[in-house]
Structure 1
Amino acid sequence: MRLADITQYGGITVMLPAAVVIGAWLWFSRSRQSALLWGALLLFVYAIVGASKILFKGWGIGLESLNIAVISGHATNTSLVLPVAMSLLARQINPRLRWPGAGLGLLIAWWFSINCVAPYIHPLQEAIAGALLGSVAACGFLYYLENTEIKKIPHAVLVIGLVLIALNTTTKKYTAEHVLNRIAVSISGAETAFKRPEWRAPVDTTKL
């Protein structure tokens, strides 16, 4: 499997169900306030990514000096969900492993962002922006959990959650791009959504 083929697993088809499983995990481990905060954090982070895409798709607004047109949703998804998921899994084994687990999740997420998301979907700068956003949100949430008692859940329930995530890796992959295109065009009044910033030269991916 090529690196370009792995990129699809960072999209909402896989990562959003994984985020829902995390929320359910927190809810049923009697940490409902944490589950609600997790949901709010997801909405906040997704709103930032969505806003960056709508601004560019509708008006062509981006950060030219940083070569960032939009924030990568794939990098954001992976860097937010994976560290939290691996930290919670590590807690099941030994609570002292929660931060090493999160660190491993961050390493995998950053490797994925730099090697899979960039340059196949986004330029490196946009992938890094997404990885930074997701990482900061994940670490902030895990820091909040330091003062929260997370009870272990039955292994059977854990297996069911992991199976649900695994099943989503085998289904057809979807993105929110078409929806965001429609929103951006309807708000801005543009005839079509912007696809490539004027300042950026085309990338020849055949040489990658």
Structure 2
Amino acid sequence: MNAWHFVTRFGEAQILLPAALLVGLLLASRPEGRPAASRWLAGLVLATGLTTLTKIAFIGWGIGSASLNFTGVSGHSMYASAIYPVLLAACAELLLGRGRMAAALLGAVIALVVGVSRLAVDAHSVSEVIAGFVVGGAVSLAVLFAEHWHTPRLQRWLQGGALAAMALWLFGATSYAPPSPTHALVTRIALRLSGHEHPYTRAQLLHTLREPLDLPTARL
């Protein structure tokens, strides 16, 4: 596994969602943290639905944009930008009681690196990565700038143990977990819904740009 393939794993749903769930449970364990946890969960559900719909639309029916080289929102970029800023902001306040926005900015940088990795491994186009960053970033902003952002004060052993478990999970799963099956699952759903035997591909989409225009010859 080269460096970019390792980095891109930090955007996989199967790796990020359990970490987000753990921190979300920490936030929701006290009443003052529940608004932020609820808003984060709702945002993740909506962003996941939107991202999945764009993928199904293309795989099943070929709905995309050849000029933008767009076949669907990048799920890795979306999850990274929706989770890392909030994840690190929550960790900063749980552990230090301050530094929320600085930690969120670091999370955004990590998400940006994950997006670059999707380009480096030739998994997505620029437009797809940007779309993922925008959709996920909207989720983070909706949480971080909510009127009632609160992180509960928990016992130190609970905070430290849970956050250590989260860190171990992120790095351990990134190194040893099997590849994510989400793309294959979405493909099966798209084919079942569309009734087609084969998925549409990026090559088919871009072929429309390479076809010569069939224009009538001008009379001189």
Q: Which residue number corresponds to residue 177 of structure 2?
A: 171
Q: How does 1:79-90 map to 2 (within 5 A)?
A: 79-90=81-92
Aligned equivalents of 2:29, 2:129: Cα separation in 1: 34
* Alpha-carbon shift at residue 42 of structure 1 (Å): 1.1
- 2:204 aligned with 1:189: no
* Alpha-carbon shift at residue 84 of structure 1 (Å): 0.7
Cα 1:33–1:147 change in 2 (3 A) is closer
- Identity fraction in percent: 28
Counterpart pick for 1:99 among 69, 86, 101: 101
Aligned equivalents of 2:23, 2:80: Cα separation in 1: 13
Aligned equivalents of 2:163, 2:114: Cα separation in 1: 25
SS at match of 2:28: helix
Q: How does 1:24-173 map to 2 (within 5 A)?
A: 24-30=25-31, 31-114=33-116, 116-120=117-121, 121-144=123-146, 146-153=147-154, 154=156, 155-169=160-174, 170-173=176-179
Aligned equivalents of 2:66, 2:206: Cα separation in 1: 9
The amino acid of 1:118's aligned partner reads L
SS at match of 1:62: coil
Greater Cα shift, 26-35 or 174-183: 26-35
* Alpha-carbon shift at residue 93 of structure 1 (Å): 4.2
Q: RMSD of the TM alignment (CA)?
A: 2.0
> How far does the alpha carbon of each residue in 1:90-149 deviate from its partner, in whole angstroms, 9 at most, with x for none?
2134444101110111112112212x01142111221111111111211111111x5232
TM-score (norm 2): 0.82
Aligned equivalents of 1:8, 1:148: Cα separation in 2: 29
Moved >6 Å (runs of 4+): none
Matched length: 199
Structure 1 unmatched ranges of 5 or more: 202-208
Aligned equivalents of 2:110, 2:38: Cα separation in 1: 26
Aligned equivalents of 2:149, 2:7: Cα separation in 1: 34
